[in-house]
């Protein structure tokens, strides 16, 4: 059989809290250092220790980043999922198992590498044997796949950043795995890793850290947050970078961090900061957004610059708290009671996480409104490859704030809610300035900010708000297109589906279909999306939720005559989208409508 190089999926089954995460990250990092396209997806439970966890590593010379549809190399460490994990494997799969778990392998159609990982680890460090055992399978795979030891050592050093003892133990364990493979096992599989030219600009980072850095460079002044997976590491990221990047020469901070008592308070603090002229932000996940809804409407109506990042997880309710979904997009767009409409920024990769991280504040202050950032657990918590973040290319946009009497006098007929410039965006003054004070409120008010329940006043104001947000359509991040010459079929997608789209496209192409793509990067939708739909005969709206939430938004927003062109392909099982499943669903949808 021929060698299979850089084209396989590894599935590592462990229990959480056993220290497998660092071993898995070392493996991923070593593959990355070899210049291969490798991605890692952590499927973890809502639990601190002892429940099943899988780490899926995909290596692909095609650059595919989605978890593969099949497993080629299976590592089993966990007794609880042992038989189920093994049962699922296709004949010919490599199985690396820890013989110290003392569980049977009742398959004779697999390539089996039995390794006494715990006993080997015990010899290296009896106290930490459970953790060290994980590095043994990394060593086994390194030898089996021909990953050079020096590269593995680099990855180990990077993982433990200067902690000599940890580096030593882990490197010892990896060597011990290697030696065991050499002396006790015989390579019967065909999987190999080969070096590729590495783009020296690339590195791995997760979306939450990228957004956190974006916020730091966006001049965030206050972070309020209430812990919730998968958004907590975003808040912790900001907290981590403040001492390095946001202290003045006397060691005093330009950004407050408050762990709020709940999400109601977290969003209240954001509004307070925005109202008083600072850049406030919170991050949360779906349940938090549900709680914040009332004040999201207040921010919209009272026109308070505010930023919320929603790192979505599986709903409804507590749902699957540690799994991924694009389940909140329609909620975000119209969050809160009454007529509301919010700006939503939708990064599709970690570079955009950074970029939209700082831009969110500019949009919030420019439009004096609530701005959401929308990511999900897959983009937020898994490592993705970055090409390097671009330093902000324009100065901070603080919006129409009048800070002095002179500035105020230049505005003809100032009123807090008067559309002086015709763009729907009013001017504002800040508390403490003494300039044209009003009582901001969520109840009806006229153009001067004076309480009013008059029908015409309410309606005029609501129309202005609509006009204000409408104006953002061409100003927000515009869609990204990949277009074919023949324009039969187009796919509209967004967010973390970016990781899977190339592979879906290749699968469809292999069946003879040529498909254009449009990645939506913000709501409200750009008019360019309309044009994309117009250019194509049929459009598939592809997303990771049950109900086709973006499909619903599109149906409402695009020109009525274009609506019949739209078809929804949407489902969600909590896992990052797999290419074959979505490609098959697309084909199935097209067939079922006999298109």
Partner 1 sequence: MAKVNKLDLALDEYKGGKSTLCPGCGHDAISSVIMKAAWENSITPDGIAKMSGIGCSSKTPAYFLRQSHGFNTAHGRMPSVTTGANMANKDLNFLAVSGDGDTASIGIGQFIHAIRRNLNMLYIVENNGVYGLTKGQYSATAEEGSQKRKSVPNELKQIDLCAMAINLGCSFVARSFSGSRKQLTALIRAGMSHRGMAVIDVISPCVTFNNNEESYKSLQYVKNNNEELHGLDYIPHFNPIEEVEIPSGGYKEVKLHDGSYLRLETISEEHDVGDRMMALDAIHNADVKDKHVTGLLYFQEGIPTLDETENLVDTPLAELSEDMLRPSKETLDDLLTGFRA
Interacting positions 278-297 with partner 1 (CB under 8 A): 278-280, 294-295
The one segment of 199-207, 469-477, 515-523, 585-593 that binds partner 1 by CB under 8 A: 199-207
* DSSP 3-state of 538: strand
Tell the burial category of 290 from Cβ atoms under 10 Å away from its Cβ (0-12, 13-18, 19+). Answer: middle
Backbone torsions φ then ψ of 175, nearest 5 degrees: -65, -40
Q: What is the footprint of partner 1 within residues 128-167 (CB under 8 A)?
A: 158
Please identify which residue in 109, 261, 339, 475 interacts with partner 1, judged by CB under 8 A.
261
Does 440 bind partner 1 (CB under 8 A)? Our answer is yes
CA end-to-end distance (rounded Å), the chain: 41
Residue 316: is the preceding peptide bond cis (ω within 30°)? yes
Span near partner 1 by CB under 8 A; candidates 83-91, 175-183, 270-278, 318-326 = 270-278
Question: Which member of 27, 94, 135, 255 binds partner 1 (CB under 8 A)?
Answer: 255
What's the gap between Cα 173 and its chain centre? 33
Paired sense of beta strands 111-115 and 52-60, if any: unpaired
Calpha distance 364→221 (Å, rounded): 14
**Smaller CB separation from partner 1, 70 or 253:** 253
Q: Which is nearer to partner 1, 29 or 324 (CB)?
A: 29
Q: Which of 111, 438, 513, 587 binds partner 1 (CB under 8 A)?
A: 438
The residues in 366-405 that bind partner 1, with binding defined as CB under 8 A, are 386, 388-389, 391-392, 395-396
Identify which of residues 4 and 245 has a Cβ nearer to partner 1 in the complex.
Answer: 245
Cα atoms in the Cβ-side hemisphere of radius 13 Å centred on 159: 27
Q: Which residues pair with 73 in a beta bridge?
A: 10, 94
Footprint of partner 1 on residues 450-469 (CB under 8 A)?
450-451
20 closest CA partner among 67, 71, 57: 57
How far from chain centre, in Å, is Cα 530? 26
φ/ψ of residue 206, rounded to 5: -95, 160
Closest to partner 1 by CB, 383 or 501: 383
> Using the rule CB under 8 A, which residue among 221, 369, 499, 516 binds partner 1?
221
| CA torsion through residues 271, 275, 276, 279, sign | positive
- Judged by CB under 8 A, does residue 40 bind partner 1? no
Q: Would you say 213 or 379 has its CB closer to partner 1?
A: 213
38 binding partner 1? (CB under 8 A)? no
Q: Work out which of 266, 314, 507, 579 binds partner 1, going by CB under 8 A.
A: 266
Q: Identify which range of 320-328, 428-436, 483-491, 506-514 contacts partner 1 by CB under 8 A.
A: 428-436
* Cα(58)–Cα(579) distance, integer angstroms: 13
* Residues touching partner 1, count (CB under 8 A): 73
Could you tell me the two tokens for 573?
């099982």
Query: Which of 17, 19, 272, 527 lies at the binding interface for partner 1 (CB under 8 A)?
Result: 272
Burial level of 574, CB count in 10 A (0-12/13-18/19+)? middle
Residue among 101, 111, 185, 276 that touches partner 1 (CB under 8 A): 276
Q: Is 520 in the site for partner 1 (CB under 8 A)?
A: no
Which segment (20-28, 213-221, 489-497, 500-508) binds partner 1 by CB under 8 A?
213-221
* Among the listed residues 128, 167, 185, 256, the single contact to partner 1 using CB under 8 A: 256
**Is residue 49 at the binding interface for partner 1, with CB under 8 A as the rule?**
no
Q: Scan residues 344-363 and list those touching partner 1 (CB under 8 A).
A: none
Q: Give the relative orientation of helices 20-33 and 164-184 as an angle to the nearest 10 degrees.
A: 80
Q: How many CA atoms lie within 13 A of 516 on its CB side?
A: 23
335 touching partner 1, by CB under 8 A: no
Residues 296-315 that bind partner 1 (CB under 8 A): 298, 302
Smallest distance, Å, CB 277 to partner 1? 3
Q: Radius of gyration (Cα) for the chain, nearest Å?
A: 26
Q: How many CB atoms lie within 10 A of CB 252?
A: 8
- The reply to whether 193 sits near partner 1 by the rule CB under 8 A is no
Contacts of partner 1 in 229-248 (CB under 8 A): 244-246, 248
């Amino acid at each position: 059989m021929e060698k299979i190089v850089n084209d396989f999926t590894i599935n590592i089954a462990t229990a959480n809290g056993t220290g497998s995460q660092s071993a898995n990250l070392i493996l991923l990092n070593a593959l990355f250092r070899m210049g291969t396209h490798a991605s890692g997806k952590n499927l973890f439970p809502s639990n601190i220790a002892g429940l099943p966890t899988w780490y899926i590593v995909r290596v692909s010379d095609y650059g595919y980043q989605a978890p593969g549809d099949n497993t080629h190399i299976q590592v089993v460490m966990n007794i609880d999922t042992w038989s189920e994990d093994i049962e699922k494997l296709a004949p010919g799969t490599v199985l690396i198992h820890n013989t110290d778990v003392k569980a049977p392998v009742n398959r004779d159609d697999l390539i089996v590498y039995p390794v006494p990982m715990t006993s080997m680890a015990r010899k290296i460090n009896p106290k930490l044997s459970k953790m060290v055992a994980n590095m043994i399978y990394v060593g086994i795979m390194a030898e089996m796949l021909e990953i050079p030891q020096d590269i593995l050592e680099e990855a180990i050093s990077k993982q433990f950043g200067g902690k000599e003892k940890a580096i030593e133990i882990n490197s010892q364990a990896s060597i011990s795995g290697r030696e065991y493979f050499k002396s006790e096992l015989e390579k019967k599989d065909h999987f190999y890793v080969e070096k590729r030219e590495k783009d020296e600009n690339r590195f791995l980072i997760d979306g939450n850290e990228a957004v956190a850095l974006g916020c730091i460079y966006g001049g965030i002044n206050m972070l309020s947050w209430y812990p919730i997976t998968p958004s907590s590491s975003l808040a912790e990221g900001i907290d981590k970078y403040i001492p390095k990047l946001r202290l003045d020469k006397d060691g005093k901070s330009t950004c407050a961090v408050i762990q709020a008592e709940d999400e109601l308070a977290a969003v209240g603090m954001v509004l307070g900061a925005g109202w008083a002229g600072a850049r406030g932000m919170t991050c949360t996940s779906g349940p938090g957004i549900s709680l914040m809804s009332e004040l999201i409407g207040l921010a919209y109506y009272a026109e308070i610059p505010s930023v919320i990042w929603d790192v979505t997880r599986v709903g409804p309710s507590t749902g699957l708290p540690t799994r991924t979904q694009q389940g909140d997009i329609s909620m975000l767009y119209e969050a809160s009671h009454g007529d509301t409409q919010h700006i939503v920024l939708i990064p599709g990769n970690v570079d955009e996480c950074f970029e939209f991280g700082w831009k969110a504040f500019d949009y919030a202050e420019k439009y004096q409104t609530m701005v959401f950032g929308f990511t999900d657990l897959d983009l937020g918590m898994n490592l993705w490859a970055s090409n390097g973040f671009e330093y902000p290319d324009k100065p901070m946009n603080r919006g129409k704030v009048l800070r002095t009497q002179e500035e105020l006098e230049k505005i003809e007929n100032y009123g807090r809610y008067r559309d002086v410039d015709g763009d729907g965006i009013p001017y504002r003054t800040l508390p403490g300035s003494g300039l044209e004070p009003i009582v901001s409120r969520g109840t009806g008010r006229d153009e001067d900010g004076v309480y009013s329940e008059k029908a015409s006043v309410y309606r005029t104001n609501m129309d202005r708000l609509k006009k204000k947000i409408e104006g953002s359509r061409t100003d927000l991040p515009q869609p990204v297109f990949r277009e074919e010459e023949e324009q039969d079929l187009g796919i509209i997608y967004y967010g973390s589906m970016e990781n899977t789209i190339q592979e879906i496209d290749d699968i469809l192409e292999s069946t003879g279909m040529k498909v254009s793509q449009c990645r939506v990067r913000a709501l409200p939708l750009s008019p360019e999306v309309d044009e994309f739909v117009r250019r194509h005969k049929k459009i598939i709206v592809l997303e990771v939720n049950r109900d086709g939430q973006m499909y619903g938004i599109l149906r409402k927003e695009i020109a009525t005559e274009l609506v019949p062109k739209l078809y929804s392909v949407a489902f969600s099982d909590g896992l990052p989208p797999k290419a074959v499943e979505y490609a098959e669903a697309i084909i199935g949808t097209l067939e079922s409508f006999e298109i």
